[in-house]
């Protein structure tokens, strides 16, 4: 259970005063990479980073445009309490999960996680968008994955690894969330998947059409 060791202990907010602020985002820190925060700030988000054990009720009181679940270390199977809080957020605000955040979303919908016989590490992993068949080169750093066959029917697979077929992305449009197992914010690259943040931004805009409208 490594997440408490790397998560922030106190909330803090990051924004760029030179960028017009469009959305207030709550980001759960499970070991977040600064490049995730930067990717959101560059798109006009004020990002409030909160500790890993922040209750859903407290997040909803802030009335965020969206919620991001960050990457982080360790076995996701021990994060049941966090998954319960995430479940309470589903349908209340748009959610984007990245890496460990993707796995926590899987747990929240009742899926199981597995330990991969060979973890995915490095910057040249091909993943395929299920809908478009487009292949993107992506950055990975994970030894666990969501078992696709355990997903409920409402959740659809959006990306798969072309190495071993591992589930690399999923979504539930009815509950307004989606996630990716890889790192779209990879720094210094590859940058094939930066559009994931644009997709999240559009989701927040559709849900909150009058936020920060001047």
pLDDT in tens, 142-200: 999 999 999 999 999 999 999 999 999 999 999 999 999 999 998 888 899 999 999 99
Considering the candidates 99, 142, 159, 175, report the single residue annotated as catalytic. 99
Cis, bond preceding 176 (omega within 30 deg of 0): no
185 is known as an active-site residue: yes
Global pTM exceeds 0.85: yes
Q: Write the pLDDT tens digit of every residue in 6-30.
A: 999 999 999 999 989 999 999 999 9
Q: Annotate 9-61 with DSSP letters as a single string.
A: SS-EEE--TTS---EEEEEE-SS--HHHHHHHHTTTEEEEEE-TT--HHHHHH
Q: What are phi and psi of 20, to 5 degrees?
A: -65, 125
Q: Is 99 tagged catalytic?
A: yes
DSSP class of 105: H
Known catalytic residue at 45: no
């Amino acid at each position: 259970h490594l997440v408490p060791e790397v998560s922030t202990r106190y909330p803090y907010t990051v924004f760029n005063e030179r960028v017009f602020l469009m959305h207030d985002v709550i980001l759960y820190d499970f070991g977040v990479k600064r490049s995730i925060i930067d990717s959101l700030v560059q798109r006009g988000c004020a990002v409030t980073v909160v500790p890993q054990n922040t209750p859903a009720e407290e997040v909803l009181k802030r009335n965020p445009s969206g919620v991001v679940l960050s990457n982080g270390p360790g076995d996701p199977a021990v994060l049941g309490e966090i998954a319960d809080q995430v479940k309470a957020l589903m349908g209340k605000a748009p959610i984007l999960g990245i890496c460990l955040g993707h796995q926590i979303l899987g747990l929240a919908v009742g899926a199981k996680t597995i330990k991969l016989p060979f973890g995915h590490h490095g910057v040249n992993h091909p993943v395929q968008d299920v809908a478009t068949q487009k292949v993107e080169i992506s950055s990975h750093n994970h030894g666990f994955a969501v078992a696709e066959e355990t997903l409920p029917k409402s959740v659809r697979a959006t990306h798969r690894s072309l190495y071993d077929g591992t589930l690399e992305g999923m979504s539930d449009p009815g509950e307004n969330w989606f996630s990716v197992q890889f790192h779209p914010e990879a720094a210094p690259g590859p940058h094939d998947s930066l559009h994931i943040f644009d997709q999240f931004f559009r989701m927040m805009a559709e849900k909150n059409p009058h936020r920060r409208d001047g």
